[in-house]
Amino acid sequence: MEKIYSEEDVCKLHKSSPETIKFLLDYSKSLQVVEYKKFTFEQHLN
């Protein structure tokens, strides 16, 4: 069991461009989720 947990799997992160990060941040700022009773509404604000 020690052998299973002692093996290191190195996670390689993908580098993203500043434009991609800006796009995702702007998208998350424009998204609004509204819950009403059992319904969930998603809308994008302009």
What was the pLDDT predicted at 20? 92
Number of domains in the chain: 1
Report which of 9, 5, 25 is spatially closest to residue 17, judged by C-alpha positions.
25
| Tokens linked to 42 | 């998603």
- Residue 7 covered by a domain: no
- Residue 9 covered by a domain: no
What was the pLDDT predicted at 3? 63
Report which of 26, 30, 7, 9 is spatially closest to residue 18, judged by C-alpha positions.
26
What was the pLDDT predicted at 41? 93
pTM: 0.50
- Residue 6 covered by a domain: no
pLDDT in tens, 7-36: 666 667 788 899 999 999 998 889 899 999
Range of the domain at 19: 14-46
Q: Which residue has the higher pLDDT, 1 or 46?
A: 46
What was the pLDDT predicted at 14? 80
Q: Which residues neighbour 32 within 8 Å (Cβ) at sequence distance 6 or greater?
A: 42, 43, 44, 45
- Residue 34 covered by a domain: yes
- Residue 8 covered by a domain: no
What was the pLDDT predicted at 27? 87
